[in-house]
Amino acid sequence: MIIAFAAGVVLFLAFIFSMLGLGGAMLYVPLFHIFGFDFKAVAIPTALLLNMISTVSASSVYLRSKMVDVKGAVPLIVSAFIGAPVGAYLTKMVPTGVLILLFAIFMVFVGGRMLFTADRPEQAGAAEARNRFLLIGTGGFIIGLIAGLLGVGGGFLFVPLMLAIGYPAKRAAATSSFVVIFSSFSGFAGHVAAGHFNWPLMISTAVAVLIGSQIGAKVMKEKMKARWIKQLYAIVLLVVAAELLLKLYA
């Protein structure tokens, strides 16, 4: 019963996250934990699997529609992969409470800024091609480092980075979705190798996330306006930040 309910919630969340270029692991992990599943052995690996499936599903739509900047994604993928192990190593040196607080503050800043600037006209191509490549590479390393510290895919950081350097909102979300595939796969493979999985939960929620992400990607491609994407994304960031702060100081 609880697995069926979890699958229903995941279907709805996948619909929302796929429109934002996110996999959803940052909410799937606490969701499964709230439902009573083991945090390390079940919640994290299942969330990473769903992250990967959701972004693969959404990216298939975006790639066919030529919405993904594949060339721009390459330095982001490479630099994030370099930064992630560094962040994972630094985890030993930084208290968990400090990490969560910094994480929440950053999301409030990004979410608030995006919410109040959503109505401004887009400025695609604000950075020259060479500068854009450099900014993505540097930003990708920093995001990978943060993702390694916090154990998340990084999609919620990739999108603001792309928007800041001039990507249109839809192209930023689509490209971020493509990038998150790779970071999610590496994390999931590591957990499976360690024997962390719950097959009934994984299979049922995988089907749900596949359906939800396909619907969400098509809605974003055909009907969503850039302003709506920014506002929805900002709200998600602020809600997650509030959840983290409540748990930290409860």
Residue 199 tokens read as: 């097959």
Please count the structural domains in the chain: 1
The predicted pLDDT at position 49 comes to: 85
What's the rounded mean pLDDT across residues 172-190? 80
In the block, residue with structure tokens 């192209």? 171
Q: Is 81 within 8 Å of 182 (Cβ atoms)?
A: yes
- Of 151, 163, 64, 155, nearest to 113 (Cα)? 163
Contact 177, 62 (CB under 8 A): yes
Residue 150: pLDDT band (50, 70, 90) is low
Decide if 202 contacts 48 (C-beta within 8 A): no
| pLDDT at res. 3 | 92
The confidence score (pLDDT) of residue 188 equals 76
Q: Which H helix or E strand runs over 125?
A: none
Residue pair 156/170 in contact (Cβ under 8 Å)? The answer is no
The rounded radius of gyration (Å) of the Cα atoms in the chain is 17
pLDDT computed for residue 92 by the predictor: 66
Range of the domain at 31: 2-249
**pLDDT score for 11:** 92
Q: What is the distance between the alpha carbons of residues 144 and 41, in angstroms, rounded to a whole number?
A: 23
Question: What band does 207 get if pLDDT is binned at 50, 70 and 90?
Answer: very high
Mean pLDDT of the chain: 78
Query: How many of the other CB atoms lie within 10 Å of CB of 3?
Result: 16
